[in-house]
Structures are given as C-alpha cells and as structure tokens.
Amino acid sequence: MTEGRLSLYLRENGYRLAGRVYLFLGFIFLLLPITFLILFSFQRNVYSSLPLQGWSLQWYDKLVEDGVLFDALLNSLYVSPIAATAASVIGFLAAYALNRFVFPGRILTATILILPILIPPLILGVSLLGLLSRLGLHGQLYSIIIAHTLLLTAPAMAIIQLRLAQMPPTLEEAAWDLGANELQTVWRVVLPWALPGIAGGWLLAFTFSFDEFIIAWFVSGFDQTLPVTVYNVMIASHDPSLNAIGTIVFGLLLLTLLGAELLIIPLFMRRRRA
C-alpha cells in the first residue's frame, strides 16, 4: 500500500523532486567549504582534517594576540567604505554628465572612465605603484584608497548610469518648470531617483574593494588590507587563525545582510503601505 503510494508520488512529482535534489546539491557545493571553515575555526585541529579533536577558542585567542590579521580587517573596513563612497560620488557625477549632456569628447570621457576595469589588475597595480611612488603617495592606506577609487568608479558608474537611463527626461524638466535651478534639480530630483542605483553601485564597489588583492598588494606598505595580509600569513606559515578571521568576516557579512533585511526592507515596505 505504502509502496504503491510512493511510486505514484514519484511518477507525478519526479521531475520536481529531481530538481529539488539538484538544487540541494548545488547549495551543499557552495556552502560546504564555508561550513568547514567555521567548524575548524572552533576546533583544536592544527590542520583542517578529520577527525575532530574537540571544541576550542584558541585560534581566536591567537588572532587577538598576534593582532596582524585583526588590524588588517580594521584597515579593510576603513579603506573599502571610503573607496566605495568616493567611487559612488564620482560615478554618479560622471554618469549624470554623460547621460544629460552632449559635449565634444563625450565618448572619450566615457571610455577613459571605463578603462581601469578593462586593464589587467597586474598592469594597473605595477603602473599605479610607479606613479604613486613618484608622487610620494605610495605605501600608505590612502594609496589603496586612491587606487581602489580609480578602479571602482567604472562599475559604480555603470550601475548608476543604468538607473539614470531609466529616468524620464521630463522629470528634470518638470522640476525646472516648477522653479528649481540646475543644482536644486540634481539634489531634489535626480539624486532621489538615482538612489537605488547609487546604493547598488556602492555595495558592488565595497565588495570589490574588500576582496581586491593584486592592486592592494602592489601599492600598500606596512598597513595592509585583509586579502594582502591573509596572503602574507599563508605564505609565511600554516596558521589556523585564518579560519577564525574568515569566520569573523563571514559573520559580519551575514549580520549586515540580516540587518538590511530586518531593518531597511520593512522600512521600505511600511512606507509603501502608508
């Protein structure tokens, strides 16, 4: 009786079931490495291999004692938001100018702004090192901010431009017609319209910068961002506290996402319902 039911169920829902299994396996493939990273950050094992040797916070202790990776994380949390903000501001202004005005050299300007993202990071890194050191701006945290701003303006601008391209041209005209000058119109009409694009561009730029290794490696000095420090720690020795810093970063990102979901989205929903 039960067997008959099962085969009936499979005949009716077989494809759906297969799809679910496939999806499940896909998620496992994506999430398993992170799960292991978190698991072994709380284990006594020196090497990430079974069997488990018992729960411990010793790698977190080591993280705080050494301080190198921790400082690097703080550096990253300093560099990336500033670079992302600078890139978003420049990206917005450039996107607006390219969208609104027809001027000689318009295509050239757009190309130059997009170019950094097309140049291989290795070449960009080397040339930035040469340039910044000649200007006396190398080897500092702000060197990375400058380099990242240059790199990230292109993707931020691209996303903001997508949003601005959807803006009906009569929207600005309506603001002028009602008595707003150019500046007021940009501030009170174009900016609110572009805001979802700016937020998206900022997030993309932030993640880009937070992850970026090659250019940061070239232009940084003793103060390094997290990816560069992780690399340096890895080539120097085997250190399980890398698992611990990985877990902390993952936790931070998860909290940010959850926070966004719990705080910001209901805010939008409520405004819409009101």
Partner 1 sequence: MANESASAVAGGTVADLEARGIAKRFGSVVAIERVDLDVRRGEFVAIMGPSGCGKTTLLRIIAGLERADAGTLLLRGEDIGDVPVHRRSTRLIWQDYSLFPFLNVRKNIEFGLTLRRHDKKAVRTKVEAVAELVHLDHLLSRRIGQLSGGEKQRVAIARALVTEPEILLLDEPLSSLDAHLRIKVQSELTVLQRELGISFIYVTHNQSEAFAMADRVVVMNKGVVEQTGRPAEIYNRPETHFVAEFVGANNIFEGRVSDTAAGTVVVDCSHGTVQIAGHGNRIDRGAAIELVVQADKLRRRLDGEDGLNTIRAVLKGREFTGSQVIYYLETAQGVEVKMVLQEPFTEGEGTEINSELELCWAPEDTVILGHRDARQP
**Contacts to partner 1 by CB under 8 A:** 168, 170-171, 173-181, 184, 188-189, 192-193, 195, 271-272, 274
Q: Which residue is listed with tokens 């130059």?
A: 112
The backbone region for 101, taken as left when phi is positive above 0, alpha when psi lies in -120 to 50, beta otherwise, is: beta
What letter would DSSP give residue 55? B
CB closer to partner 1, 11 vs 271: 271
Closest CA to 203 of 156, 161, 157: 156
Q: How far is the CB of 191 from partner 1 (least distance, A)?
A: 10
Taking a C-beta distance cutoff of 8 angstroms, is the pair 34, 250 a contact?
yes
CB closer to partner 1, 5 vs 272: 272
- Tokens representing 239? 């250190």
Q: How far is the CB of 56 from partner 1 (least distance, A)?
A: 52
Q: How far is the CB of 206 from partner 1 (least distance, A)?
A: 24
- Tokens representing 113? 């702004």
Q: How far is the CB of 188 from partner 1 (least distance, A)?
A: 8
CB closer to partner 1, 134 vs 271: 271
Q: How far is the CB of 272 from partner 1 (least distance, A)?
A: 7
CB closer to partner 1, 94 vs 189: 189
Q: Distance between CA atoms of 249 and 255, rounded to whole angstroms?
A: 10
CB closer to partner 1, 126 vs 167: 167
Taking a C-beta distance cutoff of 8 angstroms, is the pair 205, 156 a contact?
yes
Q: Distance between CA atoms of 127 and 147, rounded to whole angstroms?
A: 10
